[in-house]
Amino acid sequence: RMQEEGLVEKTSGHSWVLRPALIDEDAYQESARFRLLIEPSVFAEPGFAIASKALDDLLAAQTALADGGAMAEPLQMLFDADAAFHNRLAEASGNRFLAQAIRQITKLRRHAEPERYASRERLAASFREHAEVLRALTQGDRELAARLMSEHICHAHASRPDIRKVRVLAHRRLTRR
C-alpha cells in the first residue's frame, strides 16, 4: 500500500527506499515552497485549457462546499473535493510533468493533513479560495488565477497541522490492515 501511495520504492533485490514524505517541519516548508513553484505555473502553460462545462461544474462543487457543505460533508469527501480541484487544474495545464508532480504532492498531503481537515472553518475558507481561482478563470484572467492560487497555498500552509499529530495519525492509517 505504501508503494501504491508513492511513499516507498522497491529497488533491485529485496530493498526498499523511502520516498520524500511530509514527516517533519522541514518537509512541510519544502512542500509549501514546491507547491508555490508549480501549482500557480499551471495557468502559464501554453497548453492550458479547461472546458467551460468542466470549469462550471468544478466551480459549482467548490461553491457548494464553501457555502455550507464543508460544515456537513464527511471529511474524506472534503479531501477528495480538494484533491479534485488541484488535480483537475494540473491536468488542464496540458503539461504531463506538472500534472504528475501535483498528483504526487496531493497524495502526500492525503496522509499528512488529516488534522487540517478537523477545522471545518478553514476548509470552508479553502473552498472559497478555490472558487475565487475558478471565477478568475471564467473571466479568462489566468494571471489573477495564478496569484490567487499562490495566496491559497500560503493560507493553507499557514494553517498546517501539528507534525507530531500527523505522524501518529499517518502511522495508524498506514499500518492498519
**For residue 164, what pLDDT is reported?**
63
How many other CB atoms are found less than 10 A from the CB of residue 73?
A: 16
In residues, how long is the chain? 177
Residue 17 pairs with which residues in a beta bridge?
9
Cell of 13: 533485490
User: Are 97 and 38 a contacting pair, CB within 8 Å?
Assistant: no
Give the cell for residue 147.
Answer: 496569484
The phi, psi pair for 5, rounded to 5°, reads -85, -5
How many Å apart are CA 133 and CA 145, to the nearest integer? 5
- Per residue of the chain (177 residues), give pLDDT as tens: 655 665 556 667 766 655 555 567 777 788 889 999 999 999 999 999 999 999 999 999 999 999 988 888 888 888 899 999 999 999 999 999 999 999 988 887 776 555 555 678 888 999 999 999 999 999 999 999 999 999 999 998 887 666 666 556 666 666 775
Between CA 9 and CA 63 the distance in angstroms is: 38
Q: Which cell numbers hold the place of 75?
A: 471529511
pLDDT at 106: 86
